[in-house]
Amino acid sequence: MDDYPLLDIFWTIMMFFLWVMWLFLLFRVVIDIFGSGDLPLWNKIGWTALVILLPYVGVLVYIIARGDSMGMRRGRRSERRHRDHDTTGPTTADRLAQYAELRQQGVITDEEYLKAKADILA
């Protein structure tokens, strides 16, 4: 342990975490390139080539050129996922349970329940 002082250990750990952050940023940029609907195919190919061939410069240029819209696209995708998740209606079992409860309460007849059940299951 004498030949690897505490400051070197700290420096190594810091470099490892900076490397992990760099990989995270690189993957976010590549995901944004391919997930961007406003970029034509050849522009996507060009950005990807730039990011792969000159990773530090490519990512820096991409973030400068498209960084502000990168956050907006991510927000729109998140809102769309959230909206799609919220708009899913009741399941078949939920709808059948509602009709069964209405039948028990006497709101609908047995015939109406059977017809609704057949419609739901069809």
What is this structure's pTM?
0.59
Chain-centroid distance, C-alpha 119: 35
The percentage of the chain sitting over the pLDDT mark of 90, rounded to a whole number, equals 40
CB 24 within 8 A of CB 16: no
**pLDDT over 90 at 106, yes or no:** no
| Of 10-14, 17-21, 101-105, minimum mean pLDDT range | 101-105
To the nearest 5 percent, what fractions of the chain are helix, strand and coil?
85, 0, 15
Which tens digits make up the pLDDT trace of 66-103? 988 888 888 888 888 887 776 666 778 888 888 888 88
Q: Where are the domains of the chain?
A: 1-88, 89-122
d(CA 78, CA 56): 27
